[in-house]
Structure 1
């Protein structure tokens, strides 16, 4: 997230998540992100979030016989 300005997560042709990294939050406790959840060609969620140690849960649209829940968690950099 730190190294890229924009990141697309595409789990299917119908649903995808766009993450824009706005860098470290001013208090240095997390990463400031702009999130967009897309369903086909429509934005169904647009928000800013601070991703810290605890995961961020996003209630998505109804999907199949239930409801989709996306979970974002900040992990360690695994770059060699």
Structure 2
């Protein structure tokens, strides 16, 4: 019996397969948001969506957080929390 599931280390590879009608993928919203809006992809099996997971930025406690860290954390919050 052939394996019905394909795994890849590259989300882009799976994304291209879905865009070329070669199957369905589970992908994070940030990866597919614009494709869904453009109607190049559509959601299926919405009743079977995986539970949401969290994203955590962990860095050493300090009163003075470097600007690089602050910008990165703000970027993560803006990208993942919308």
Q: TM-score range by the shorter chain?
A: under 0.3
**So what's the TM-score if we normalise by structure 1?**
0.21
Higher helix proportion, which one?
2
**So what's the TM-score if we normalise by structure 2?**
0.21
